[in-house]
Structure 1
Amino acid sequence: MTRYYFDIRSGQDLYPDEEGLDLPDQRAAEIEAANSLIGLAKDLPPLDEREDVAIEVRTETEALFRAAFIFEPTRLKH
Structure 2
Amino acid sequence: MKRYYFDIRDGSQFIRDDEGVELPDIESARQEATAALSEITREWASSRPQHRMAVEVRDDCGTNLGDKL
TM-score range, shorter chain: 0.7 to 0.9
Detail structure 1 runs of 4+ shifted over 3 Å in the superposition.
none
Larger-Rg structure: 1
Contact 2:2 2:60 in 1 (8 A): no
Query: Alignment length, in residue pairs?
Result: 64
**Of the two structures, which has the highest relative contact order with CA contacts closer than 8 Å and spacing of 6 or more?**
2
User: What TM-score results when the alignment is normalised by the length of structure 1?
Assistant: 0.75
Task: Note the 1:34-45 alignment, pairs <5 A.
Answer: 34-44=34-44, 45=47
CA RMSD of aligned residues (A): 1.4
User: Which digits, 9 at most, give the CA deviation of each residue in 1:5-61, with x for residues without a partner?
Assistant: 0001000110000100000000000000000011101122252xx421100000122
List gaps (5 residues or longer) in structure 1: 67-78
User: What TM-score results when the alignment is normalised by the length of structure 2?
Assistant: 0.84
